[in-house]
């Protein structure tokens, strides 16, 4: 079994420079490329299940932490979709051959933005996308839309809003910069092109990304094969053993060219 290579990648220049932590497993193509969610890291249950699958099948696996997350440098409060997308693009550039891209929550949005950028340059290397509770346009659809008038005022006057989290005792800080930058990357409202098959895994009891958002995403992918698997009792994390079995099946289907 190949060892995991741990390395860092410098992204950005001057005050915007940050050190991105990467864990990469050597193997054959198609590689597996992990994109985590907001406030998540590359050693969570889903990411490690992906790494274990790669080790079992001899596939290359690339995982990394966005700036301000996990082992990477940088300030979380400086994070924006543009900044985290730039990091994803830089890490992806270090992979070779076709890749099955797996994005969870915010990572689902970034996965779609990543393939959009590749299609624009004619360098599409995505063999398929697995999107887990994809938080497409989350800055506006899932964050700003849920703010109270007082929170909207705080966003403008203080530059941030602190919201309690079900997953942490520490509130999540949502900055005005994150919201304003997110407006530059909104995908709903037009056709979403991927150039590859898409598999969406969505929990029916997800209170963070409701199933209606996944259904809406399907209606925007008009030119590429898309499969939506609704897990009725699943929550946002979809990290239970049975959920990970479904993730494994979805990834293997794309590896073998037979989306499930």
- pLDDT of res. 3: 85
Q: Please report, in angstroms and rounded to a whole number, the separation of the first and last CA atoms in the chain.
A: 27
What pLDDT is stored for residue 91 in this prediction?
98
**What band does 171 get if pLDDT is binned at 50, 70 and 90?**
confident
The answer to whether residue 98 scores a pLDDT higher than 90 is yes
Mean pLDDT for 64-68 is 98
Confidence of residue 259 (pLDDT cuts 50, 70, 90): confident
What's the mean per-residue pLDDT of the chain?
96
**pLDDT confidence of residue 165:** 77
Residue range 103-147, pLDDT digits in tens: 999 999 999 999 999 999 999 999 999 999 999 999 999 999 999
What average pLDDT does range 173-199 have in this prediction?
Answer: 97
Q: Report the alpha-carbon distance of residue 232 to residue 244 in Å, rounded.
A: 15
Of 128, 252, 138, 106, the closest CA to residue 199 belongs to 128
Report the C-alpha gap between 184 and 247 in whole angstroms.
30
Only one residue has tokens 């800055």, namely 139
Is the pLDDT confidence value at 1 over 60? no
Quickly count: other Cβ atoms within 10 Å of residue 99's Cβ.
Answer: 25
pLDDT of residue 164: 82
Burial of 150 (0-12, 13-18, 19+ CB in 10 A): exposed
- Domain residue extents for the chain: 4-137+191-255
pLDDT on residue 66: 98
Strand, helix or coil for residue 220: helix
pLDDT of 184 higher than 70? yes
What's the CA angle centered on 1, arms 70 and 5, to 5 degrees?
35
Average pLDDT estimate for 63-82:
97
Q: What is the pLDDT of residue 2?
A: 65
How confident is residue 45, by pLDDT bands cut at 50, 70 and 90? very high
Instruction: Say if residue 168's pLDDT is above 80.
Output: no
Token digits of residue 152: 């909207």
CATH architecture of the domain formed by 4-137+191-255: 3-Layer(aba) Sandwich (3.40)
At 38 the pLDDT is 96
Residue 96's pLDDT band (boundaries 50, 70, 90)? very high
27 and 16 Cβ atoms separated by less than 8 Å: no
Q: For the residues 29-36, what does the mean pLDDT come to?
A: 98
Do 44 and 73 form a contact (C-beta atoms < 8 A)?
no
């Amino acid at each position: 079994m190949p060892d995991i290579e741990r390395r860092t990648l410098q992204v950005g220049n001057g005050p915007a420079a940050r050190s991105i932590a990467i864990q990469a497993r050597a193997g054959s193509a198609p590689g597996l490329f992990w994109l985590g969610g907001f406030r998540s890291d590359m050693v969570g249950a889903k990411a490690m299940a992906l790494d274990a699958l790669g080790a079992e099948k001899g596939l290359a696996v690339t995982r990394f932490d966005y700036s301000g997350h996990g082992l990477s440098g940088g300030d979380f409060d400086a994070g924006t979709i543009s900044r985290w997308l730039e990091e994803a693009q830089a890490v992806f550039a270090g992979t070779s051959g076709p890749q099955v891209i797996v994005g969870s929550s915010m990572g689902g949005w970034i996965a779609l933005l990543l393939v959009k950028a590749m299609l624009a340059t004619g360098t599409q290397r995505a063999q398929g996308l697995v999107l887990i509770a994809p938080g497409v346009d989350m800055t506006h659809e899932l964050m700003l839309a849920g703010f109270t008038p007082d929170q909207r005022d705080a966003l403008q006057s203080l530059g941030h809003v602190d919201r309690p989290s079900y997953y942490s005792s520490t509130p999540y800080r949502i900055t005005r910069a994150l919201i304003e930058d997110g407006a530059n990357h909104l995908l709903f409202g037009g056709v979403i092109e991927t150039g590859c098959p898409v598999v969406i895994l969505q929990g029916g009891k997800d209170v963070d990304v409701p199933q209606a958002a996944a259904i809406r995403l399907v209606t925007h992918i008009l030119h590429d094969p898309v499969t939506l698997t609704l897990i009725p009792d699943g929550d946002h994390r979809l990290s239970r053993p049975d959920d990970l079995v479904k993730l494994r099946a979805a990834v293997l289907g794309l590896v073998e060219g037979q989306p499930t």
